[in-house]
Structure 1
Amino acid sequence: MPSPAPTATPIGVGIIGLSASGGWAARAHLPALAAVPGYEVRALSASTPESARAAGEKYGIPLAFGSAAELVRRPEVDLVVVTVKIPHHRELVLAALEAGKMVLSEWPLGNGLAETEELAAAAEARGVRTFVGLQARSAPPVRYVSDLVADGYVGEVLSTSLIASGRRWGAEFEPGGAYLLDRGNGGSLLTIPFGHTVDAVTMVLGEFTDLDATMATRRPKVRNEVTGETARMTVEDQIAVSGVLEGGAVASLHFRGGLSRATNFHWEINGTAGDLLVAGDSGHLQFGQVTVHGARGEDTALAQLPVPAAYSTLPALAGRTTEVAYTVAHAYEQIRADLAAGTRHAPDFAHAVRRHRLLDRIARAAAF
């Protein structure tokens, strides 16, 4: 994924949901955009004019609006980035598409498959370029593993096994994450960490041709970590999926809510000539904070395989691999390369539909 040369006119970005009090947009998108040549953050919108002004002053962004409707109409904005909670994605994405703007939406794109299909159809009808925040596939370690497999490091892939923890959806919840407990809001262990991770797994090893699944809510009541009050959780905190991938490899993936005292991210790829292991501290592979290990041939033990420097072509991020902006920046780099070359490698709304269909398939399999 070579970094394209910046053009004379940078891509003007408008971020919906950037707050002066912090949050994902401030921690991930702003530093990521600053690290990738060819972008210029020109506008933001927040929930009120007052909060928008505060964010504009804090981050030095010239155009600050109290509504997304104002932002999407501005000619200075070429790419609208939607970083708010999932239940608001539909209305904001549609507004940007109707204004003829390119859109990058955080994952999940829609609140369920039907919304996602609607948004993808709207983008196609308007001929607008779209992108979705499935950045795990842009993470240098994931791309390295993909190339190792493609180049035959493990030989023919026989099987893959993955066990991971969702960090959230455990015994306690953060007050700001209360909405993730409700199935109706679209944000769950299945759609967020599992969705990000299975997207990377299928990128590396191929799609599921056959699968079965079990899901359960083992903790229907969870505790607010600040107040101690209990709340009802209707989303599943256990997801087990097994099946067969393209090429015949057998796959087994188990996600559980919270964190484990033992293993929180362990992904093995086993083949006729060798083995690979990707390890980390949570099931959120989209953060990219994992290490790669491998052994092949006559090797008797796994050894760490450092990710070659060629997989990270952003000098501004040197030594910053533990920051959440690191992987997001590589996603922006891929988007920039696509726009410069007219290619379509970055995941778009059509890809989001494919991934939502897989999650819907898993949910339906678990319902039987």
Structure 2
Amino acid sequence: MTFDPIRIGIIGVHPDQGWASSAHIPALKALPQFKLQALAHHQEDVAKAAAEKFDIPSYHFSTHDLVNDPEVDMVVVTVKVTRHRDAISKAIDAGKKVFSEWPLGVNLAEAEALRDLAREAGVSNFIGLQTRSAPAFRTMRTLISEGFVGRVLSATMIGSGIVWGHEMSDGFEYTLDPDNGAGMLQVPFAHSLDGLLDALGQRVVDHVCTLSNSRHTIRLSNSGRNVPLSVPDQILLSARLSDGTALMSHFRGGLCQGTNFHVEVNGTEGDLLLTSPVGYVGIGGTRLQGARNGAPLEDMDIPPEHDMHAAVGAPAQNVAIQYARIANDCFRGTSNAPTFDDARDLHALIAALARGGSWH
């Protein structure tokens, strides 16, 4: 059975920067199940330049025009989260399939509203929780389910936020407003926690979470301004999962010379260790090791079925794997790609962590 490619329209494409150009476009170009049909950017010269660079047939200067383009089947939303509600709502109203980058909304209420809107309209919807697609996390999930570590006893995760350290680009200044829902808690920490929980096949049932600031100001590298660091740069989580597994996590802003990403799963019969030189596993350089019954750690092979589309490189590979899952869901009726329902649940967890934590 053959299918016509799903025609994609992306909102928020710049020719030289951004997640769309570095991850989504390389991923989509590697997959015959999709066709890059259109893009939108509010600046005419930017839209035209991006369309020419990436060989995309049409471009628009407004969200309204893109979502109503009859040649577009699925709208991909890659703008700042503060603009998600407007873009996603318009795509749903136009009856289009929607793939939104995470976070779905600036808060739980907005995420629930968008989830409900998509449900009522009956449109297919997907959320960019691509850490679940990372080959090392997928392999870890398989090994755990097959009993490599025996019964899981505990999981530990240490991470660096990359941003929210000593300085950041002026382009990230909007993340310092807590109302924008784009801080370290909502983005790298949420992505990483979601990937780990998916690998474990568990959910959080009890937790203690502390959010704090070790830094009180941050330098904006382009303008040289020092501004208040008004979102947490330290996240400390202690949790019990649905099967009784103990989970501990510490995320800190910026990068360090030591451990930037470390996930350890300890079981009755073995251990798994996933590391990366940067704070987010989607950037690349991931290493998975394992050991059983007291033997030393050794590198674990990533099976080919988990390491698809490696040729596109990081960070596009994880996104390509997620798009492949979306294609299967659309064409074959599977339910493997995360949806707005998953986004709502993760938003609810992050909101609970924020409410249950202390703020210093």
TM-score, normalised by the number of residues in structure 1:
0.94
Residue number in structure 2 paired with 1:118: 113
Q: For 1:308 and 1:287, locate their aligned partners in 2 and report how far apart those are by CA, in whole Å.
A: 20
- 1:287 alignment partner in structure 2: 283
Residues 307-348 of structure 1: per-residue CA shift (max 9 Å, x gap): 12232233xx33x54x21111101101111111111221100
Asked if residue 259 in structure 1 is aligned to residue 255 in structure 2, the reply is yes
Aligned to 1:245: 241
Aligned partners of 2:234, 2:308: CA distance in 1, in Å?
37
The alpha-carbon deviation at position 274 of structure 1 amounts to: 0.4
Alignment of 1:277-316 (within 5 A): 277-287=273-283, 289-299=285-295, 301-314=296-309
Amino acid in the other structure paired with 2:354: A
Q: Identify which of 26, 30, 52 aligns with 2:21.
A: 26
Structure 1 Cα separation of the partners of residues 60 and 194 of structure 2: 34
Query: Which stretch of the first structure deviates more once superposed, 77-86 or 56-65?
Result: 56-65
State whether residues 183 and 235 of structure 1, in contact with CA within 8 Å, keep that contact through their aligned partners in structure 2: yes
Alignment match, 1:85? 80
Is the 1:86–1:185 contact (alpha carbons within 8 Å) kept by the matching residues of 2? yes
Task: List runs of 5+ in structure 1 lacking aligned partners.
Answer: none
Note if contact 1:141-1:288 (Cα within 8 Å) is conserved in structure 2.
no
> Secondary structure, in 3 states, of the residue corresponding to 1:309?
coil
Alpha-carbon displacement from aligned partner over 1:183-242 (angstroms, at most 9, x marks no partner): 122111001001101111111221011111000122121112233320112110000110
Matched, 1:272 2:268: yes
| Cα separation, 2, equivalents of 1:8 and 1:282 | 39
Shift of 1:50: 2.8
Q: Is the 8 A contact 1:50 1:66 kept in 2?
A: no
Q: Pick the aligned partner of 1:74 from 69, 72, 86.
A: 69
Q: Where does structure 2 lack aligned partners over 5 or more consecutive residues?
A: none
Q: Following the alignment from structure 2 to structure 1, what is the Cα–Cα distance between the partners of residues 154 and 236?
A: 16
The 3-state SS of whatever aligns with 1:226 is coil
Q: Alignment RMSD, CA only?
A: 1.4
Structure 1 pair 208–288 and aligned structure 2 pair: CA distance change class (3 A): farther
Equivalent in the alignment of 2:225: 229
- Map 1:1-368 onto structure 2 (within 5 A): 7-205=2-200, 206-287=202-283, 289-299=285-295, 301-314=296-309, 317-318=310-311, 320-321=312-313, 323-367=314-358
Residues 287 and 327 of structure 1 are in contact (CA less than 8 Å); yes or no, is this contact kept in structure 2?
no
* More deviation, 214-223/347-356: 214-223
Looking at structure 2, the residues matched to 70 and 109 of structure 1 have their Cα atoms a distance apart, in angstroms, of 22
- 3-state SS of 2:357 partner: helix
Q: Shift in Å at residue 49 of structure 1?
A: 2.5
CA contact (8 A) 1:143 1:311 kept: yes
- Cα distance change, pair 298–21 in 1 and its aligned pair in 2 (3 A): closer
Contact persistence 2:3–2:331 (CA under 8 A): no
Deviation at 1:288, TM superposition (A): 5.2
Displacement, 1:47? 1.2
Cα deviation code 1:133-190 (max 9, x no counterpart): 0001011111100000000000000111111111100011112111112212211100
8 Å CA contact retained: 2:212, 2:232: yes
Query: Matched residue of 1:222: which SS?
Result: strand
CA distance, structure 2, for counterparts of residue 227 and residue 74 of structure 1: 39
How far did 1:63 drift?
A: 1.1
- The CA deviation string for residues 29-68 of structure 1, in whole angstroms up to 9 with x for no partner, is 1000011121001000001233212221222111100001
> Percent of aligned positions with the same letter in both sequences?
41
TM-score, normalised with respect to structure 2: 0.96
Task: Kindly report structure 1 stretches of 4+ aligned residues shifted beyond 3 Å.
Answer: 286-289
Q: Give secondary structure in 2 for the equivalent of 1:270.
A: strand
Higher mean displacement: 9-18 or 47-56 = 47-56
How many pairs were matched up?
358
Kindly state the Cα deviation for residue 84 of structure 1 after the two structures are TM-superposed: 0.4
Structure 1 CA distance, aligned partners of 2:3 and 2:247?
47
SS for the counterpart of 2:305 is: helix
Higher mean alpha-carbon deviation, 146-155 vs 286-295, is at 286-295
